[in-house]
Amino acid sequence: MKVLEIRDIILSKGEICDHCLGRQFTQLYQGVENSKIGAAIRIAKTEEDIAKLISKDLKVKLSKNCFICKGIFTEMEDMLEKMLEKASGLEWKSFLVGNKLPPELIESEEILWTDIGMQYCEPIKREINRLLGKRISEKTGKLADFENPDIILIANFKTKRAEINIRPLFIKGKYRKLVRGIPQTKWPCRYCKGIGCEKCNYTGKMYKESVEELIAHEILKATGGKESKFHGKGREDIDALMLGSGRDFIIEIIEPKKRYINLDEMLRKINDYAKGKVEVSDLSFSNKKEVIELKAATADKVYEAFVSSEESLSDEEVHKLELFFKNRKIKQRTPKRVAHRRADKIREKEIRYVKCQMINEKQFKAEIRAESGTYIKELISGDEGRTEPSFSSTINKKLSCEKLNVLELVDVED
């Protein structure tokens, strides 16, 4: 079908604006706005006229009665104002535009395509996003970003309102935990599930503080974020320290109002606030992709455990542990102490090595390297037979872990 034949079919369907007319021919006139194409095609006498008419500055016809858009292209500047209003008071450098259209509008365009085909067209949704994106760039000087926008502005033509989706802010770094008794993340009270009750002193939490909260406090203050999510590269036991060069983490700030914060200054503020408990280093901006990578990474951990026995121990017995737990696979049923929050199942873990050093006849220090997720206290005690083999069962003496530190995370090569 010739261009002008298609035009005549479209015009016979009813009143149509230049955007909706021109949009059916977008592919034929690359780089020209649909409204200009529409204005030219509408009055062209021959196909050769069209290019000449496009180069003239023809007046664009808009219509509230357009049988496709029902007048949406007359509402664009209004919507633009509403969108910018939504973003005011926020700090952002990049954006993405989305829209929601009444379904009957998309339908009327699809019905038209059954008559004229859609080989040259641009869908209405795309034209609206493109035009609004262009106008936002012109007005604010900010750029559209399809990968990692700071905000997503949505033109909702169903409700005639603008909506905003503020993308989370990701900051990564390393933390060291200098005191025992602090969980890595917020731990909701097990009795009230976080609502607040007598048991938790109406805090809704099992523990007053967490590594997450100690790190998030100053960041939430500076960014005006709603809340935080914490992603650690593994986690240490509540009662274990995290020493050495620290553990990788990414903190996610939900709905930040400010996001271009000075991280050197932030590092000082966090370390000041969490002084003596948690220490952060190497802060930099991150993204969702790195969170996924962090989660996927499984690292071996090297622990330092202080072990005590009820009976006296010989050097031979302690040496036996070193020989026995060289690349030894063990089976661990979910420990009693965490059974209330973890599924009860049996996990197989490998102990890479154990190195022991006697402290006195009833105590020794063990350096243990184990696969990620190994329960070390239970490896030592045996957890009443739930972990097998264990230090206790290997030398047939009752052993317990008095103190546990994480010395190091070692990336495992697959």
Nearer of residues 74 and 271 to Zn ion, judged by Cβ: 74
Distances in Å between the Cα of 268 and the Cα atoms of 25, 65, 272, 414 are 58, 61, 6, 37
Nearer Cβ to Zn ion, position 110 or 311?
110
Rounded CA gap, 18 and 42, in Å?
A: 8
C-alpha to C-alpha distance for 369 and 351, rounded to whole angstroms:
6
Query: Smallest distance, Å, CB 192 to Zn ion?
Result: 3
How far apart, in Å, do the first and last CA atoms of the chain sit?
60
CB of 202 to Zn ion, least distance (A): 7
66 is a contact residue toward Zn ion (CB under 5 A): yes
Stretch that binds Zn ion, among 60-68, 86-94, 174-182, 233-241 (CB under 5 A): 60-68
Residue 17 binds to Zn ion (criterion: CB under 5 A): yes
| Contact code string over 182-221 relative to Zn ion, x by CB under 5 A | -------x-xx----x-xx---------------------
**Choosing from 237, 282, 383, 411, which is the catalytic residue?**
237
Size of the site for Zn ion (CB under 5 A): 11
Find the part of the chain contacting Zn ion (CB under 5 A) among 10-18, 132-140, 179-187, 318-326.
10-18
CA distance linking residue 302 with residue 318, whole number of Å: 18
As measured in angstroms, the least distance from the Cβ of 11 to Zn ion is 13
Judged by CB under 5 A, which stretch of 15-23, 217-225, 231-239, 242-250 contacts Zn ion?
Answer: 15-23
CB atoms within 10 A of CB 204: 17
- Contacting range for Zn ion; rule: CB under 5 A; set: 11-19, 230-238, 354-362, 392-400: 11-19
| Binding-site member from 6, 7, 10, 20 for Zn ion (CB under 5 A) | 20
374: CB partners within 8 A, 6+ apart = 301, 330, 332, 349, 351
Per the annotation, the verdict on 145 as an active-site residue is no
Nearer to Zn ion, 194 or 389 (CB): 194
Rounded distance, CA 184 to CA 386, Å?
25
Q: Should residue 40 be labelled a site residue for Zn ion when binding is judged by CB under 5 A?
A: no
Site track 140-179 with Zn ion (rule: CB under 5 A), x = hit = ----------------------------------------
Distance CA 14, CA 242 (A): 72
Closer CB to Zn ion, residue 65 or residue 140? 65
d(CA 77, CA 110): 26
Of 12-20, 49-57, 144-152, 225-233, the segment contacting Zn ion by CB under 5 A is 12-20
Q: Between residues 27 and 201, which has the closer beta carbon with respect to Zn ion?
A: 201
Instruction: Tell me the closest approach of the beta carbon of residue 236 to Zn ion, in angstroms.
Output: 25
Is 69 an interacting residue with respect to Zn ion (CB under 5 A)?
Answer: yes
Q: How far is the C-alpha of 395 from the C-alpha of 190, rounded, in Å?
A: 37
DSSP state of 209: -
Provide the H-helix boundaries in 121-210: 124-140
Least distance (Å) between residue 388 CB and Zn ion: 36
Burial of residue 183 (CB within 10 Å: 0-12, 13-18, 19+) is buried
Angle at 253 between CA 251 and CA 256, to 5 degrees: 150
- Closest distance to Zn ion from the beta carbon of 134 (Å): 18
- For residue 284, the Cα-to-chain-centroid distance in whole angstroms is 15
CA dist list (Å): 247 to 102, 243, 293, 410 = 49, 8, 15, 11
Classify 327 as helix, strand or coil: coil
For the annotated catalytic residues, the residue numbers are 237
Summarize as ranges the residues that interact with Zn ion (CB under 5 A).
17, 20, 66, 68-69, 189, 191-192, 197, 199-200
